Structure 1
Amino acid sequence: MEQVVNKRPDLLRTLSRERLEALVLERTESDEGFALWLDARFAVLVADEASTLLDPVPFRRRAEAVFSSTGSGRHRHLWGERTAGIDEAALEQLIDEAEPFLAVGRGDHALTILKPVAAGLAACWPENAVWDEPLNEFLPRLDQLIAQAALMNGVSQEARDDLAGELAHWQGELAKFGADDAFATAIAACMQGWDEPGLQVTLAGLGQSWPPGGSSDPLEEDLTRVRLAALEAMGRGEHFLNLSRAAGFHCDHAVKLAQTGRVDEAARPSAPDHTW
């Protein structure tokens, strides 16, 4: 089997364009998952080439397909009896597709992928939360990625306000079944953005500590973490250094200094990182 896989690129190059198109079309007609994946890849290519926003329809359809196996009566016929539920591998793959956009600071594109996932997860939660414990593992990651995306270029404050309302609604649905703070970091990121009092001063390197009062709670630390991730992706290196220093994220600060060639500064002793 491994030999066949290794030869696959060479075999594909021997095919004519017409034959290759026929094979792809044949697969799309028999495999809906592949067809939806292909539509999403086309959407990415079009957005990249035309410098336009990512078409949300293919990603919404993929999210709907992931969650389509759920629904009332499909999971439990008798008490304790459960049929197949959400395809968690497909769900993880769909979330993963937002990562390349986050890495280059395209929060708007990332949200096109992540929002239908969050909406679908909230909608199916009542049917699956009790039976499918691994689903809980998706919530912290979604919260972090949506928060990071919301803080990036291309996402206006108006868009953040709208997203905060959607997140609050989804969190309300999840809270009915135990996930009280599912999107707490993302909601805070949308509501506070980059306009929190004193933040611009800190980013400019003039603040001594962040938050200004000198103490933070877990939510504030999570919000600082996603702000740093957003600054990194947007190439705002000095702002990253100023915030990480003021917030006491000394490990992140030292790594960034080393990455920018400031090794001597990175090697200087600093206070213990309170996030370790």
Structure 2
Amino acid sequence: MAERSTLRRLRDDLPREALADLLVRRAEADPDLAGRIEAELAALPGRGPVDPAPIAAQARTLLGRQIKRDYRDDYEAHGPADALKQLVDKAVPFLEAGDGRNALKIPVAVAEPFIEQWLGYYVETDEDMYRLFTGLDRMMAEAALMSDLSADERGSLRETIGGWEDDLNDYAPEDGFFLVTAALRTAWDDPALRAVLAGKTGAALPESEEENPEPIAVRLRVLAAAARTDEYLNLARAAGDEAALAGMCWCASAGSTRPC
């Protein structure tokens, strides 16, 4: 902590031009730093569309560097789970801003190299890496439901995810990419779901979403983030989610349109 404080003071004391020159010189000597900077810029809100290529490249660098290091340490594979999660979490500001299209590009860019390397090196040795599947699935599902993807774009991404699951085969997590696949299959287009969201009398959830509460939880998060309060409440009632219903009702009475 003391070292970080010292670095921050030095950063604050350096003129902007000197700091920029220092970064350029350091990046020339350290290719990994250049890749990290490119990934940061590629996923920086307010700079236009997210460029997934530097993000995927940084994921490959993180995975490859860890493999080389671990192979010198008794050939035990312990993956860079925390670093990959930090990379995936660059989607969070876009989700918070309601920009699902750009948010979606980030976990998709990380997923492909992660799956490749996980199958090759980490599949039987690293539980932390295994847990990343759940985070990727949920984040992609939320981003897909928040985006304006066309039916063709949704179908193309479903094919990509189906290819990942085929590659994973017996090594896939129990639910695989269930949440994002369900989100891409129906988005908000299912007539029964639309009737529920509109609060129509007698409307019931689609059978596919009655069987598993997780897709409903993802939908509620997206509706809350978009301040679609009435639809949120209608869905929570139809799903019998008393906690979600009570949380939104309490916050609405306090002047907020989001669950507590």
Which whole-Å deviations, capped at 9, do the CAs of 1:60-104 have from their partners, x for residues lacking one? Answer: 211221232477x99779xxx524543222111111111221222
One-letter amino acid of the counterpart of residue 261, structure 1: S
Match of 1:267 in 2: none
Query: How many correspondences in the alignment?
Result: 254
- Unpaired segments ≥5 residues, structure 2: 256-260
CA distance in 2, matches of 1:241, 1:43: 36
1:232 counterpart = 2:231: no
Opposite residue 57 of structure 2, the aligned amino acid is: R
Secondary structure in structure 1 of the residue aligned to 2:253: coil
| Residue matched to 1:184 | 178
Q: Partner of 1:82 in structure 2?
A: 75
1:193 Cα offset (Å): 1.0
Equivalent residue runs for 1:128-147 within 5 Å? 128-147=122-141
C-alpha contact 2:196 2:234 (8 A) present in aligned 1 = yes
Secondary structure of the structure 1 residue equivalent to 2:236 = helix
Distance 1:175 1:94 in 2: 26
Matched residue type, 2:49: L
Output the CA distance in 1 between the equivalents of 2:79 and 2:109. 15
The whole-number CA distance in structure 2 between the counterparts of 1:164 and 1:185 is 11
TM-score when scaled to structure 2?
0.85
Structural RMSD (CA)? 2.9
Name the residue aligned to 1:124.
117
Partner SS for 1:53: coil
Aligned to 1:53: 49
Shift of 1:207: 4.8
Do structure 1's residue 158 and structure 2's residue 156 form an aligned pair? no
Are 2:250 and 1:258 equivalent residues in the alignment? yes
Give the letter aligned to residue 239 of structure 1: E
Superposed displacement of residue 202, structure 1: 0.8
Deviation of residue 163 (structure 1)? 1.0
Q: Map residues 203-222 of structure 1 onto 2, 5 A cutoff.
A: 203-208=197-202, 210-211=204-205, 216-218=210-212, 221-222=213-214
In the alignment, residue 56 of structure 1 is paired with which amino acid? P
Identity in percent? 30
Which residue identity is paired with 1:143? Answer: D
| Kept in 1: contact 2:165–2:172 (CA 8 A) | no
Q: State the Cα distance separating 1:195 from its structure 2 match.
A: 1.3
Is the alpha carbon distance of 1:208 and 1:36 closer, same or farther for their aligned partners in structure 2, counting shifts above 3 Å?
A: farther
Instruction: Decide whether the 8 Å contact of 1:69 with 1:86 is kept in 2.
Output: no
92-101 vs 5-14, which moves further:
5-14
One of 56, 60, 63 as aligned partner of 1:67:
63
Aligned residue type for 1:48: G
Equivalent residue runs for 1:89-108 within 5 Å? 89-108=82-101
Structure 1 or 2: more helix by fraction: 2
CA distance in 2 between partners of 1:83 and 1:30 (Å): 29
Separation (CA, whole Å) in 2 of partners of 1:213 and 1:57: 38
Q: Bigger shift: 23-32 or 94-103? A: 23-32
CA distance in 1, matches of 2:172, 2:162: 15
Structure 1 unaligned regions, length at least 5: 264-276
Hey, what does 2:33 align to over in structure 1?
34
**CA positional deviation for 1:17:** 2.4
Q: Is the 8 A contact 1:74 1:83 kept in 2?
A: no
Distance 1:121 1:159 in 2: 22
1:215–1:59 Cα change, 3 Å: closer
